[in-house]
Structure 1
Amino acid sequence: VVVVGGAVLDVISKPTTQFVRGTSNIGLTKQTWGGVGRNIAECLHRLDVPVLLVSNVGKDACGHGLLRQLDSLHMDPSGVVSTSAHATATYCAVLNSSGDLDVAIADMAILHDLEWDDTAAAKMDTARVVVFDGNLSPAKMARVTRPPQPKSLNPRRLLWFEPTSVEKAVRVTAVLHRVHVVSPNVDELRAMCEALPEDTGRVDQGLVAAAARLLPVDNGPQVIRDVATGPYYVKAASVASSMQHLFPSQIKATIHEHPNKESFVKWLNESQTEFAHQFDNDARPLKHKSSPFCYLEQDDNPKFVGGCDDTLAFFRARTQSAPSAPASSASIHANDTSDADVKYDWDLVVIGGGSGGLACSKEASKLGQKVLVLDYVKPSPVGSTWGLGGTCVNVGCIPKKLMHQSSIIGEILHKDADQFGWSVSNATFDWSKLVSSVQDYIHGLNFKYRVDLRDKKVKYENMLGTFKDAHTLTLTNDAKKKGPTDVTFRRAVIAVGGRPKPLSCPGWEHALSSDDIFSKPDAPGKTLVVGASYVALECAGFLKGQGFDVTIMVRSILLRGFDQDIARRIGEYMESESGIAFIKESVPTSIVKLENGQFQVTHTTGQDVYDTVLNATGRSPDVQKLNLDAAGVALNPKSGRIHVVNEQTSTPNIYALGDVIDAPELTPVAIQAGKLLSRRLFGNGTTLMDYTKICTAVFTPVEYGCCGLSEEDAIASAGRENVEVYHQNFTPLEWSLSHDRPLAKECYAKLIVDTTQQKRVLGFHYLGPNAGEVTQAIGIAIKLNATYDDFINTVGIHPTTAEIFTTLEITKESGVDASASGC
């Protein structure tokens, strides 16, 4: 996106005493960086949209400050030109003691004569979206909106105009026919409509229709004469008066009110002859006996409207004269067009046989499309590979949860069984037996997925797909000596998921990852887990629960992106209760394989020897071999993931979902996004994927479930003064008999609420057994905007751990001890 517009220093002053003109007033002054163009660019940048701001600043202190601010945000400053011709744009506002604007002075000369270099001009020609604001002069708007040369360079470029103010909104009139999107308020829209040329054929009819929905454009005002009988018949009169206030240039209302019903009936009877003459060939006025009596006067040609219901319907139609149809895939993905006469091998090719890709492909086939799924697994550095189903089935959710369950069983045997009457002192753990059982189950799932694709009439190929252009893929499989073969497609979906990031130290190739640990044939023994992600903590947790010596090496904080209060509690539990060692603020500097098969790990704070080193420092999208540039698919330069809008990439007929985009890296998210995308593309669906309020669970030794905002994010979003946190420590009943578990402060419940919105719950956090089951159910309430009172007014099930959320009364701010007082 390229944004062309204002970069302004805003200075806002407000007196703290009674405002007095003609002298100095004691008060507060606030300076902020503003300007419509700059604000839009910063918002896009914060949303991880690649953006270039094109603007001018003066060679003065304000200009230098604005450039420093862009640098602090890590925004590209190359489009901002420093000039000595004008001072940096400045807006100075003085508010009165009530906070209303008293006077403002704006120095915007530099923006009226905005200049940019050839590099910025070239980026405008190639950008997918160009946004420009009303600070530009009409001549500059003409330069921004002129078609790229040659036009074929970027035929799908979208032009977006932000009017900025009523006065500036009309500057776009001469080039409005080139603009695809405008974002005015009602006053700006009215000004734009009134400035439209009579030859509206030059204006995009979509804009005319959109304007007509809010501000109908007529040849002259329509006069509503509403004759009512008294205070019980005022609805139509009130609506007519309101419409006159909203649209004074289009509607004028004249209200004649009779004192009583008798007077109204007398007027109706006496007016019959006049009605017959006035409303030529319309018998309805002569038959009308109820109140009110409404008609139009326009061009000396009165038109009868009717009574109350008819009048309301008339005004309803006026505000919806071009009724908007429900959103469709054609409008959501408007630029995804291809020649219907061109024949392709496949209607849809899905690259990636994981959860999202399979869901998308099966849904598309069900909707009548010819679908091909490509799934190719590059072996890990130690040679691990797997079958159809993606990360979740093979090296993620499924084996992880089974391994976690194994550790829970071990914990019950060693900590709880004796006090519950079971004698199991000779219980032992067999790693190879567990791995064999887990892999057998996974292989069964791989087979079921292949059968399911066949039954759903989806073609499956174990091949790597590499883009040749926006409608062609080259298929290869070097291991099976298959290919290369080219196939063509009308649309493609990239759903290849992610792979573990390697360590950046010498000997990195000796470290296993989550791609390898679940199929490791021999027991891991003494293990170093490098990383602080949920993958790291989950793997360390189940290995420790199975009886292995485990150490976690952490560079900074645990569970980045999660609630840090909860992350701290998980770390404390794993260290004190599980017995896992932590090496904090350290990273490995080398891994050396010894003659006995062990690994000597040197790190920034020491050295030790381990049987296994498990790297869990994060994941990256597996897109390196797809040749995305050949298809014009752009990446987000900050995250390295594919940039999408509603799953659509920068190439209109190519889509992406799952872990390759900037979205929650969760299996259910990819599945839902895949189904909805196919329904929009092939089934006239309109529902977009909602990536907010998504439940997730972390299967650490003490499980964690959450939905909504973390405490940190809630405070950043709503303000500390508007956030209340209700919390409680508790001990699950099933843990209460064990002498090997402390009886307090093991598990924890927290609701984060917004006190300005009737205590709507912003975040739900649960630390305790069966976190996934508890969170999944409560997630529905969070999705439906439940409030704190909704939780408290719900009767709990006793005895359960989830019932704690129906009794939370202690707030963090109170400082009261949050330990449980009893059952």
Structure 2
Amino acid sequence: MTKTSILDVDLFVIGAGSGGVRAARIAAGHGAAVAIAESDRVGGTCVIRGCVPKKLLVVASRFAETFDAASGFGWSHAGRHFDWKTLIGNTQGEVARLESLYRGNLEASGVVLCQEHACLVDAHTIRLRSGRLIRARHILVATGARAVRPEFPGAEHLLSSDDLFELPALPRSFCVMGGGYIAVEVAGLLAGLGVSTTLVHRGSQLLRGFDEDLQRSLHQALVERGIRVELNAVVSRVDAAGEGFQIRLADGRSLAADRVLAATGRRPNTDGLGLEAAGVSLDGAGAIPVDQDSRTRIPGIFAVGDVTNRVNLTPVALREGQAVAELLFGSRTAPVDHRNVPTAVFSTPEIGTVGPSEQQARELYPRLQVYRSSFVPLASALSRRKDRMLIKLLVDGDSGRVVAAHLLGTDAAELIQLMAVAIRGGLTKSDFDATVAVHPTVAEELVTLRMAVPAAPSMAAAATVD
């Protein structure tokens, strides 16, 4: 295609992240002519600088605890040594491998990849940075979101989570700003790698919107792992101090760290897309408003993933992208269900959750029943660190349906996937009770909880006897 030629396609996708690539491949599989534009590496935030590399770092950070626990099981070890450059090099190698697979899958599907920036000229025309024009029956915006830098003096000194994978060496101390997914995950992995870590959050609890038992239990576990957690702490400025930085808080206190990382929010990537030229408006958060079928107010233009600021999770973007492709070129009639979306926080210990928090559920279900257990798993029985597992089920007392599950501890993310299937399927507490347990496992606790606990008990009162 020459610079002046015009390519006609059935679907043009802006953004080759998870949602965009899935939509492009599914649409092409239905016989549609599809092109996709990406000015960065293919794969999006999750593959390149998010879920995948971060999870690899989290796994690396947990080996220290595994080595420590091994002595209780008769293993002895000496000469432990961790090399940051090896970890980052191998991680980037895996990212490169996955990016190559994404590219290969697009090519195999017959999707035309335009490795450059794209913007809208009107509701059916796209201009690439090279000047080439593309006409499309339908346009899908799937450009994701980006980290937002706080606005205060010295903010230019801050790293984002993207920068973590580019650090040439691991600092001795780190201050992490924020209290959401990324902040608690980064704080946990840094501490696990031996970095003196402080977590500073302006809110009164970590993980806003999560169940309070999860919030409290995670806070306690982070402190037990040596992480300094400062809540209700507002950073007012950051100053360079020698080879490190001084973090000034609004209450007059100050903290010192070799590096400071801000994980305080993300903003949809809608700048420079020419959306206004096509008549697509944005909401107050800079996101693209869409209906349940991911349609914008302009016929023929759709948006999926974090750029819509609905449920900002990679698997949700995948489902939304596939749903758009099926709606346009397949036979789908039902929209994506954004209720009861399971999610995991790869903190240490990790969290898995699906359904409303207890606070939210009490407003939805007047006769809510709460089943809760806190115990030391068998895998930790012979370890010096007696990490506890928290399992919590919420049940609608009228129908008997299990409406939520909140887990904290080893393999919580793996367990919550299957719990999400059970909750979506409408299984009742009696279905759980009638299921034979697999012993000895952590998961058996999900089918052996017998007694509901009183409303809003303390964790100490709710804990089972080990």
Greater relative CO, 1 or 2 (CA 8 Å, sep 6+)? 2
Q: What residue in structure 1 maps to residue 413 of structure 2?
A: 772
Say which one has the larger Rg: 1
Task: Choose from 407, 410, 418 the match for 2:64.
Answer: 410
Matches within 5 A, 1:651-662: 651-662=298-309
The whole-number CA distance in structure 1 between the counterparts of 2:462 and 2:389 is 11
- Note the alpha carbon deviations across 1:227-250, whole angstroms, 9 max, x for none: xxxxxxxxxxxxxxxxxxxxxxxx
TM-score (norm 2): 0.94
**Number of aligned positions between the proteins:** 455
Task: Choose from 427, 439, 442 the match for 1:798.
Answer: 439
Displacement of 1:705 after TM fit?
A: 0.5
The whole-number CA distance in structure 1 between the counterparts of 2:309 and 2:48 is 23
Q: Taking every aligned residue pair, what percent have the same amino acid on both sides?
A: 37
Matches within 5 A, 1:489-508: 489-508=136-155
The whole-number CA distance in structure 1 between the counterparts of 2:411 and 2:49 is 22
The whole-number CA distance in structure 2 between the counterparts of 1:706 and 1:367 is 35
Q: What residue in structure 2 maps to residue 422 of structure 1?
A: 75
The whole-number CA distance in structure 1 between the counterparts of 2:420 and 2:161 is 28
Q: Is the 8 A contact 2:200 2:229 kept in 1?
A: yes
Task: Choose from 640, 643, 662 the match for 2:286.
Answer: 640
Task: Choose from 208, 217, 222 the match for 1:569.
Answer: 217
Q: Is the 8 A contact 1:727 1:809 kept in 2?
A: no
- Note the alpha carbon deviations across 1:570-623, whole angstroms, 9 max, x for none: 011101x211001221122112224x4312221213112211111101111011
Q: What residue in structure 1 maps to residue 22 of structure 2?
A: 359
The whole-number CA distance in structure 2 between the counterparts of 1:601 and 1:488 is 51
Q: What residue in structure 2 maps to residue 215 of structure 1?
A: none
The whole-number CA distance in structure 2 between the counterparts of 1:524 and 1:633 is 44
Task: Choose from 730, 733, 738 the match for 2:378.
Answer: 733
Displacement of 1:687 after TM fit?
A: 2.9
Q: Is the 8 A contact 1:407 1:543 kept in 2?
A: yes
Q: Is the 8 A contact 2:376 2:386 kept in 1?
A: no
The whole-number CA distance in structure 2 between the counterparts of 1:771 and 1:467 is 43
Q: What residue in structure 2 maps to residue 604 of structure 1?
A: 250
Displacement of 1:632 after TM fit?
A: 1.2
The whole-number CA distance in structure 2 between the counterparts of 1:778 and 1:740 is 28
Displacement of 1:821 after TM fit?
A: 3.2
- Note the alpha carbon deviations across 1:678-734, whole angstroms, 9 max, x for none: 011011322311111111111111111111111111112223xx2111111111110
- Secondary structure of the 1:543 match is helix
The whole-number CA distance in structure 1 between the counterparts of 2:330 and 2:447 is 42
The whole-number CA distance in structure 1 between the counterparts of 2:179 and 2:430 is 36
- Secondary structure of the 2:169 match is coil
The whole-number CA distance in structure 1 between the counterparts of 2:126 and 2:155 is 33
Q: What residue in structure 2 maps to residue 694 of structure 1?
A: 341
Task: Choose from 95, 104, 112 the match for 1:451.
Answer: 104
Q: 2:394 aligned with 1:752, yes or no? A: yes
1:619 is matched by which residue type in structure 2?
A: R
- Secondary structure of the 2:430 match is helix
Q: CA RMSD in A?
A: 1.6
The whole-number CA distance in structure 2 between the counterparts of 1:429 and 1:604 is 37
- Note the alpha carbon deviations across 1:623-675, whole angstroms, 9 max, x for none: 112121111112233x3321111100011100001111132111111111111
Displacement of 1:560 after TM fit?
A: 1.0
The whole-number CA distance in structure 1 between the counterparts of 2:377 and 2:447 is 15
Q: Is the 8 A contact 1:352 1:374 kept in 2?
A: yes
Matches within 5 A, 1:532-571: 532-556=179-203, 557-571=205-219
The whole-number CA distance in structure 2 between the counterparts of 1:627 and 1:591 is 35
Q: What residue in structure 2 maps to residue 723 of structure 1?
A: 368
Matches within 5 A, 1:197-596: 345-377=8-40, 387-414=41-68, 416-476=69-129, 483-556=130-203, 557-575=205-223, 577-594=224-241, 596=242
- Secondary structure of the 1:633 match is coil
TM-score (norm 1): 0.54
1:603 is matched by which residue type in structure 2?
A: L
Unaligned runs of 5+ in 2: 1-5
- Secondary structure of the 1:345 match is strand
